Chain A
Amino acid sequence: MEKSEYLDSPKQDSGEAVPPLIKIISTNDLEGFDSNKENSSLINLHPSFPIQPFASSLVESETAVVQTLNEEPQLINHLRKHSVSISMPSSPMKVDMESTKRVVFSDSVETMSVFGILDSSFSSTHGSEQQKFHSQPIPKGSKFAEAVNGENLAAYHPSIKRLRDNRFDSFKTWSGKLERQISNLRGRPWETASENNGAQNAKNEALHVDRYFDALEGPELETLRSSEEIVLPDDKQWPFLLRYPISSFGICLGVGSQAMLYKTLATSASTKFLHISPTINLTLWCISVALVAIISSIYLLKLMLYFEAVRREYYHPIRVNFFFAPWIALLFLAIGLPPSIATNLPRCLWYILMAPIFCLELKIYGQWMSGGQRRLSKVANPSNHLAIVGNFVGALLGASMGLKEGPIFFFAVGLAHYTVLFVTLYQRLPTNETLPKELHPVFFLFVAAPSVASMAWAVIQGSFNNGSRIAYFIALFLYFSLAVRVNFFRGFKFSLGWWAYTFPMTGAAIATIRYSNEVTNIVTQSLCVLLSAIATLTVTVLLGSTILHAFVLRDLFPNDIAIAISDRKPKRHTHRKWFHLRNGSADKKDNENFLKSANTDCRDLEAALKPPCRPESKEAVQASSLSDAK
């Protein structure tokens, strides 16, 4: 509805975004500006693009101002054919940030995901909107569109294939735009944009969640379906940062939980007979601090250099859960703090650590609850436990720091959503596409939430009471029911994400130690030893295989296919889901019919606010083209 308003008055809208000086220049001097008005909003839009670097350079440096001012007339005379190449700001990053913002999100109201993952609490809803125009015809006068997306085009254009490195540019936050702009200035004509539609959108929009389900398969949605193609070259190794996934933080989880385990082993009364030295805890803790520092600084580098890759990871229905991992790892560090370093932590630390988790939860649980394409019946996967377990870990830390109400808050939120997730995962709904068909290490995450919850509840209540025991025994049962199937865990390709699946074992071991403090006898004590040994052994084996893969096989970081799927749908895929459903539950006719319709229909609460998901109607195409152009 709002889009139609834009249709009516594209000029005013774009005009508003233009600083006054440029508005005068562009409207007065730009020949054909007015007469071309009916050519869709691209024309009108044009001033707003070069302005932005211009405006920013005004602020940044005087030289840039001079440069821009000198070249402004040139821009006007050339009639926007080479508009992008003109104004070079002092910082290329700035231009990219600004242009992305201006071009992609200028019509969107609240946030731009350019500024970080946490900020983009609304960008997924925009994603569904902006995803739509990839099959639309580019309106005439596409010079501008090319210029805007020049950096992407350059990557895929056949005539510049020799610049192979450019193929990664669509993922770079700022890239070798300079060369392309120069070549653009030389007058090398860009060819029609329509052939590269899909590629050029790679940067500008968030991928629709259905695309991830359609294009990827495997328990972690990490392998490409054979019918799909990717936007990055698959014949050579990508730059390291592009291959570096968010699931690397799983290592921090694994090692950090080991530090916690050895702290508990060293300090608990029931495990005194083991004579574990506190130095093990200290060593492990220092290692995990170093690991957290290294891994997060590398990931920060990726965030800065390849923002698009991070964004695609964030929209990946399974990877998004791993965005909880860094914060949980920090919580682990705080819990596993060696007593020799400090015993009391400042309380404000807890609030600082929980704030990002809380924001992520608002985002993720809100997506589950209020529909959208990421409703729980679609995206439920054992890795969602990572999004839950942060609550319990936070409650555990807060309660052991002496806080009262905050831990109960997180415990309550966690418990409610854990119940939902637990039931949903057990149901194995036919709409649920990402549930692994066979056993996979990811299932060990089932153990994590109840075991941590039992500890958290024990600390909140002051004793390992019945509530804690219920949670603990649930965890133990789940653990054993997975352990007896352990010989099925074979034949999977090793991935870094496995590290994240070791901390549930460690958590179960710690919970057992807590339990044996309450009920001390030979059975519980031997269970402590057994579970701790298994956890340590698993971590050691993983460490060995990680080293093997890192230094011997050199494939620890394979090309991260999951972030490189194209946003184009191959034609054959239209009815895949229906077949899937038909196979899924053939016996329950009425419910199945219902679910079928529910699955294919995209009118969710959130999506309903936008034009329909697939641009079937012309209005939707037009509206989205306008919104894109703006």
Chain B
Amino acid sequence: MVFMSQILQPTMVSPGSQSEGELVIDISTNNSTTTTTTISGTNEQQTISMIIMKRLKQSLNSSLTRFHAGYFRISLSLGGQALLWKTLLGHTVDQNTIRLVLYVIHPTALLVLWSLTLFILILLSLLYILKCLLHFALVKAEFLHHVGVNYLYIPWISWLLLLQSSPFVTPKTRSYLVLWLVFAIPVVALDVKIYGQWFTKGKRFLSSDANPTSQLSIVGNLVGAQAAAIMGWKEIAICLFSVGIAHYLVLFVTLYQRLSGGDRLPAMLRPALFSYFAAPSVASLAWESIAGTFDTSSKMLFFLSLFLLMSLVFRPALFKRSMIRFNVAWWAYSFPLTVLALASTEYAQEVRGGIAHVLMLILIIISVLVSITLAVFTGFNTRMLLPDNDPIASLQINPLPTLST
């Protein structure tokens, strides 16, 4: 794996994808144990002694128990970046110089970024499937956790983003349709389960369990709607959109009221507060895909997103605690900024004003910089990728001590 990423690295063109090259290294080195085991399964390495096998199995086990769906945030952020760059490099009617300047980036950069994202996503998915097979009780515990359950949306959102940004699969083909169905149906199934629990008296009350990560479920619906609208399935798209928006309204009000006092989110996961403005951004993009133009409703959602971003940016004290040590939750910063940049791109294309383009440029730069920084941080902190004190992982392990052998 390390070898492979080293081959990949010289071919990087854009700065964004270069740092993501480093990311591959750390993930592969970090999880080298797991990948080597999977590979050793296929390659008949008969010479490996039993002791090494045992040790590998132990370390695999320990990292699998600490692995959770929150790690898909990495692929989510990269998928967002891929979609952003696909939009930026794609065909546009926008003739503003700022927009045209962005065309200097070669399209192969997008391809490299996309393949990297695909690679990471496949890797993470394999790991998670492995976890499902070996530690199903832990997955179940994750599902019952009020934060962890929302992470289960992230893989599907990542896949949907990757599908949209794919250079190979064009919309309105059968393969796109099949893939969309494969990725969207789990989202709907999760919706039915979780939203049903919200309004009937299930295991969770919305008033007690609502936390900023709950907005990921909304994002899932809206991304699904956007992918469907690109495909031309307007009715399905509107259906998903309306389900998402209705529950977004409920969630937004509940989150604003802060009935639970705010301790539902561990301090380490504070970066998830950024998903406050991810949902309206994605909603504005989805509505743009459905309506065909970036109309007033899309603009309003975009502006709401912008306001919420400013509201959070002016409260840096909120994030102080979580910024002390690197944590994989930091990746939560990236995706909302990326989709906001994406929405601002569409906005600038609609408005064609100088200010709108400057705003777009600023947001793109911020989102790319944040992604690069996160990739670099991940590269330098490979040991911290699977910390012992991860809120989600520890919450899963502690109630079930017998299972974390």
Binary A-proximity of B260-274 (CB < 8 A = 1, otherwise 0): 111101010010010
- Cα–Cα, bound, A606→B270 (Å): 11
- Determine the main DSSP class of A at the interface with B: helix
**B299 contacts across to A, CB distance below 8 A:** 405, 408, 412
Residues of B within 8 A of A (CB): 205, 207-208, 249, 252-253, 255-263, 265, 267, 270, 273, 276, 280, 296, 299-304, 306-308, 310-312, 314-315, 317-318, 320-321, 351, 353, 356
Q: Which 3 A-B pairs have the closest CB atoms?
A: A412-B300, A371-B262, A375-B258
* CB–CB B253/A424 < 8 A: yes
B273 to chain A, nearest CB (A): 7
Q: Given contacts A366-B315, A606-B317, is CB(A424)–CB(B261) below 8 Å?
A: no
B329 to chain A, nearest CB (A): 15
- Cα–Cα, bound, A606→B267 (Å): 11
**A185 contacts across to B, CB distance below 8 A:** none
Not counting A404-B351, A606-B318, a sample of 4 additional A-B residue pairs whose C-beta atoms are within 8 angstroms of each other reads A370-B315, A377-B259, A591-B208, A606-B317
- Cα–Cα, bound, A460→B299 (Å): 12
Q: Given contacts A412-B301, A591-B205, is CB(A121)–CB(B314) below 8 Å?
A: yes
- Cα–Cα, bound, A460→B303 (Å): 15
* CB–CB B270/A369 < 8 A: no
Q: Given contacts A369-B276, A461-B296, A608-B321, is CB(A412)–CB(B258) below 8 Å?
A: no
Q: Given contacts A369-B255, A375-B258, A412-B299, is CB(A609)–CB(B314) below 8 Å?
A: no
For residue A365, CB closer than 8 A to chain B, the reply is: yes
> Looking across the interface, which residue of chain B has its beta carbon closest to that of A601?
B261
* CB–CB B252/A416 < 8 A: yes
Task: Find A413's partner among B256, B307, B351, B353 (CB 8 Å cutoff).
Answer: B307
Binary B-proximity of A278-295 (CB < 8 A = 1, otherwise 0): 000000000000000000
How many chain A residues sit at the interface, stated as a range, is 35 or more
Q: Given contacts A362-B311, A370-B318, A412-B304, is CB(A604)–CB(B262) below 8 Å?
A: yes
A302 to chain B, nearest CB (A): 27
- Cα–Cα, bound, A602→B263 (Å): 9
Binary B-proximity of A596-611 (CB < 8 A = 1, otherwise 0): 0011011111101100
> Looking across the interface, which residue of chain B has its beta carbon closest to that of A594?
B208
- Determine the main DSSP class of B at the interface with A: helix
Q: Of residues 399 to 420 in A, which have CB atoms within 8 Å of B's CB atoms? A: 404-405, 408-409, 411-413, 415-417, 419-420
Q: Given contacts A369-B276, A408-B300, A415-B300, is CB(A362)–CB(B314) below 8 Å?
A: yes
- Cα–Cα, bound, A361→B304 (Å): 13
For residue A423, CB closer than 8 A to chain B, the reply is: yes
**B205 contacts across to A, CB distance below 8 A:** 590-591, 594
Q: Given contacts A370-B312, A371-B258, A605-B262, is CB(A125)–CB(B317) below 8 Å?
A: yes
- Cα–Cα, bound, A471→B310 (Å): 28
* CB–CB B262/A608 < 8 A: yes
> In the complex, which of the residues B257, B261, B302 has the most CB atoms of chain A within 10 Å of its own CB atom?
B261
**A409 contacts across to B, CB distance below 8 A:** 303, 306-307
For residue A33, CB closer than 8 A to chain B, the reply is: no
> Looking across the interface, which residue of chain B has its beta carbon closest to that of A604?
B262
* CB–CB A366/B311 < 8 A: yes
For residue A595, CB closer than 8 A to chain B, the reply is: yes
**B280 contacts across to A, CB distance below 8 A:** 416
> Looking across the interface, which residue of chain A has its beta carbon closest to that of B263?
A603
B210 to chain A, nearest CB (A): 12
**A424 contacts across to B, CB distance below 8 A:** 253, 256-257
Binary B-proximity of A4-18 (CB < 8 A = 1, otherwise 0): 000000000000000
A285 to chain B, nearest CB (A): 31
Task: Find A603's partner among B255, B262, B302, B314 (CB 8 Å cutoff).
Answer: B262
**B307 contacts across to A, CB distance below 8 A:** 361, 365, 409, 412-413
**B253 contacts across to A, CB distance below 8 A:** 419-420, 423-424
- Cα–Cα, bound, A606→B205 (Å): 24
For residue A201, CB closer than 8 A to chain B, the reply is: no
Q: Given contacts A369-B311, A605-B262, A605-B270, is CB(A429)–CB(B257) below 8 Å?
A: yes
Q: Given contacts A594-B208, A598-B259, is CB(A605)–CB(B303) below 8 Å?
A: no
Q: Of residues 582 to 630 in A, which have CB atoms within 8 Å of B's CB atoms? A: 590-591, 594-595, 598-599, 601-606, 608-609
> Looking across the interface, which residue of chain A has its beta carbon closest to that of B267?
A608
For residue A431, CB closer than 8 A to chain B, the reply is: yes
* CB–CB B351/A369 < 8 A: no
Q: Of residues 351 to 380 in A, which have CB atoms within 8 Å of B's CB atoms? A: 361-362, 365-366, 368-371, 375-377, 380
A611 to chain B, nearest CB (A): 13
**A606 contacts across to B, CB distance below 8 A:** 315, 317-318
- Cα–Cα, bound, A417→B300 (Å): 12
**A368 contacts across to B, CB distance below 8 A:** 256, 258
- Cα–Cα, bound, A370→B302 (Å): 20
B308 to chain A, nearest CB (A): 8
Task: Find B303's partner among A121, A362, A408, A603 (CB 8 Å cutoff).
Answer: A408
* CB–CB A604/B261 < 8 A: yes
> Looking across the interface, which residue of chain A has its beta carbon closest to that of B259?
A377
B274 to chain A, nearest CB (A): 12
**A429 contacts across to B, CB distance below 8 A:** 257, 259
B340 to chain A, nearest CB (A): 14
6 A-B pairs whose Cβ atoms sit less than 8 Å apart in the complex: A121-B314, A369-B311, A412-B300, A417-B256, A424-B253, A609-B318
> In the complex, which of the residues A361, A412, A599, A604 has the most CB atoms of chain B within 10 Å of its own CB atom?
A412
* CB–CB A412/B303 < 8 A: yes
* CB–CB B258/A604 < 8 A: yes
**A413 contacts across to B, CB distance below 8 A:** 303-304, 307
Q: Given contacts A420-B253, A594-B207, is CB(A375)–CB(B300) below 8 Å?
A: no
* CB–CB B262/A431 < 8 A: no
- Cα–Cα, bound, A369→B302 (Å): 18
> Looking across the interface, which residue of chain A has its beta carbon closest to that of B270?
A605
> Looking across the interface, which residue of chain B has its beta carbon closest to that of A369?
B256
**B263 contacts across to A, CB distance below 8 A:** 601, 603-604, 608
* CB–CB B296/A408 < 8 A: yes
* CB–CB A609/B317 < 8 A: yes
**B304 contacts across to A, CB distance below 8 A:** 412-413, 416
> Looking across the interface, which residue of chain A has its beta carbon closest to that of B265?
A605
* CB–CB B258/A377 < 8 A: yes
A453 to chain B, nearest CB (A): 12
